[in-house]
Copies of this chain bind each other. A is one copy, B any other.
Amino acid sequence: MDPQDLTERGRRTRARIIAATGEQILASGIGGTTLDTIRAATLTSKSQLFHYFPGGKTELVREVAAWEGTQLFAAQAPELDDLSSWQSWERWRESLVAYYIGLGRWACPIGSLAAHAALTDPDLERSIASTMKLWREKVAAGVERMQATGNVDPAVDAERLAAVILAAIQGGLVLSQPERSGWPLEAALDHAFAALHQASTN
């Protein structure tokens, strides 16, 4: 159901359902999240779930994915859209780590959703892939901005370097999860950023 067609009250209920589902998915995965537990957590009923998401669980999960995407970008704002100075990169890095700490677990909502959804729902997979791509493009744009301002060697491939940086984030999280500590993530990030500095022109 399109949020536009809802009253204020409806929008709030709808948003509450999405947020609670997102938390449960992050904590227990898609399979571990049932309509009943969502219902319990949101103090709603089955009929409401289907009222707001006629497509059932599938649709709900897709909405969650989209919502996680906006959450992710919001957490990195405004730095992610800047990245034109070394200070901006440093602040971005801090906001990222803070975001993951805030989640309470070393896992990326988008990354883990991608792993779960990969083959169960191609539509969802596409949506996540495009979020990932947008993220990469924003980082690449930052690299280019550093090149434009003369901070980084114009010869480096911005797209490629952006992929390396995102891979460091995702991979760092994969290693941090079992470790229950952020050090692998920080090490991977440090190292990825070092690449930028090595291509530094100052």
Contact = CB atoms under 8 A, between A and B. Distances in A.
Interface of A: 27-32, 107, 111-112, 114-116, 118-120, 125, 128-129, 132-133, 136, 160, 163-164, 166-172, 174-175, 177-179, 183-185, 187-188, 191-192, 194-195, 198
Contacts of A115: 107, 111-112, 115-116, 174
Contact of A175 (B166, B183, B194): B166
Contact of A31 (B31, B107, B171): B31
Given A31-B31, A115-B116, A184 B171 contact: no
Contacts of A133: 178
A126 to B, nearest CB: 8
B178 A167 contact: no
Contacts of A32: 119-120
Given A114-B178, A129-B178, A167-B188, 16 more contacts: A29-B118, A32-B119, A32-B120, A111-B115, A118-B177, A125-B178, A160-B187, A163-B183, A163-B184, A166-B171, A167-B168, A167-B172, A168-B188, A170-B174, A171-B174, A191-B195
Contacts of A114: 174, 177-178
How often does this chain occur in the complex, in copies? Answer: 2
Contacts of A192: 191
Contact of A119 (B27, B129, B160): B27
Contacts of A120: 28-29, 31-32
Contacts of A179: 129
A174 to B, nearest CB: 4
A163 B178 contact: no
B184 A167 contact: yes
A15 B21 CA distance: 38
The 3 tightest CB contacts between A and B, nearest first, are A171-B171, A167-B171, A129-B178
